[in-house]
Amino acid sequence: MAWRTRLFLCWLAAGLLSWAPDAVAERGQALEKPENICLEAARAVERREGIPANLLAAIALVESGRFDAESGENFAWPWTVTAQGKGRYFATEAEARAEVEILLSQGVRNVDVGCMQINMHYHWHAFDTLDRAFDPAANAAYAAKFLKAKYDETRDWLTAAGQYHSQTPENFRPYRIKVLSYWNRLNRGDAEARLSGKDAGKADDDARETTLVAVDTGRTERLNGLLREKRRGERQDMRALDAGDRRLAHLDDWRYHKRRGVQLEAVVAQRMAEMELRREERLRDLDRATRDFTFAEKRRTQLERWRKTGSLVSETPNITIER
């Protein structure tokens, strides 16, 4: 029996040794470049759910984007917490989770978490635990589900991206423009990466070992041309977006203000009715208190008279008639 136990322990130890390095390496690789975690999770969900390439990644940049002073670029941060109008970036998932637990214990429910900044008040059913909420894959998967639901309603990906943030026109239009800017930037970045990859494949291996190289004016001019084209394309996209949405914007504003006006009238009428009910209740309470006070005073006066005279009725005054 003892030799069987030792054999099982040796087999278990061998299995753990064979598994542990892979697990540690995988975790180390994930933490080596945390700025890529959200984008990789978003792009994986895009491919799986049929969302246009880089759209969910662009939303992640808008939602949890963090500026890197060294590279001058923004990247989505997985351990971002936004509450009470203030966003905070934490170094680890444990710190971010602790911050959310503190906020919840203080009664704060309107909290955005993770890569896609899922709101835990409006989307309380999205995650079973905080661990799932801060898991980039689960966070991006729920964001994709919500985005696709908005697309099914609007049949337009950019409008769906705007309503991912808000359904109010004056709020989702600026948000949609930010998403479009990041979307174009990511798409052009992928194209430039593919182009530079082809150029690197054609380069000579000996040139890489050269310590002193001459400035490639042609490549510099080409990169400058790509940059100018990128800026020109962004301006054209902005103009096209403004021109195409002008009529829809007017209609949206009209519908929103009309609906808001009806809602405000209903709210005002309800508040006035509530005030009238409260006023009537106060008057009834005051009248009841006055009646109770008057009866109590009369009863007290009668008791005092009875103690002094032995009669509850006041004595009849003597009237003298002069003749």
Name residues of the chain where pLDDT drops below 70: 1-32, 190-216, 233-268, 291-293, 311-323
Report residue 267 CA to chain centroid gap: 28
Name the percent of the chain in helix, strand, coil, to the closest 5: 70, 5, 20
* β-bridge partners, 76: 65
In a domain, 197, yes or no: no
In a domain, 202, yes or no: no
Cβ atoms of 95 and 110 within 8 Å: the answer is: no
In a domain, 186, yes or no: no
Q: Which residues contact 217 (CB under 8 A, 6 or more apart)?
A: none
Q: How far apart are CA 76 and CA 1, in angstroms?
A: 56
Domain that holds residue 129: 31-165
Predicted local distance difference test score (pLDDT) of residue 19: 37
Q: How far apart are CA 147 and CA 143, in angstroms?
A: 6
Number of compact structural domains in the chain: 1
The count of C-alpha atoms lying within 13 angstroms of the C-alpha of 26, restricted to the half-sphere facing its C-beta, is: 4
Residue 31 token pair:
């933490």
pLDDT tens digits, residue range 288-318? Answer: 777 666 777 777 887 888 888 876 555 554 5
Report residue 30 CA to chain centroid gap: 24
Beta strands in the chain (DSSP E): 65-68, 73-76, 80-83, 86-89, 111-113, 118-119
Predicted local distance difference test score (pLDDT) of residue 143: 96
Predicted local distance difference test score (pLDDT) of residue 21: 36
Q: Which residues contact 79 (CB under 8 A, 6 or more apart)?
A: 89, 90, 91, 92, 93, 95, 96, 114, 134
In a domain, 122, yes or no: yes
Dihedral sign from CA coordinates of 262, 265, 270, 273: negative
Q: How far apart are CA 21 and CA 122, in angstroms?
A: 41
Residue 11 token pair:
């087999």
Predicted local distance difference test score (pLDDT) of residue 231: 74
Predicted local distance difference test score (pLDDT) of residue 22: 39
End-to-end CA distance of the chain: 138
SS3 209: coil
Predicted local distance difference test score (pLDDT) of residue 209: 45
In a domain, 18, yes or no: no
- What's 236-276 look like in SS3? HHHHHHHHHHHHHHHHHHHHHHHHHHHHHHHHHHHHHHHHH
In a domain, 5, yes or no: no
> Which amino acid, 68?
D
In a domain, 75, yes or no: yes
Beta strands in 107-253 (DSSP E): 111-113, 118-119
DSSP state of 114: T
> Which amino acid, 130?
L
Predicted local distance difference test score (pLDDT) of residue 198: 55
Q: Which residues contact 81 (CB under 8 A, 6 or more apart)?
A: 87, 88, 90, 96, 99, 100, 103, 111, 112, 113
Comparing CA positions, the residue from 80, 118, 126 lying closest to residue 99 is 80
CB atoms near residue 110 (< 10 Å): 13
Predicted local distance difference test score (pLDDT) of residue 288: 74
Predicted local distance difference test score (pLDDT) of residue 121: 92
Comparing CA positions, the residue from 58, 240, 260 lying closest to residue 164 is 58
Q: What is the chain's alpha carbon radius of gyration, rounded to the nearest angstrom?
A: 37
In a domain, 193, yes or no: no
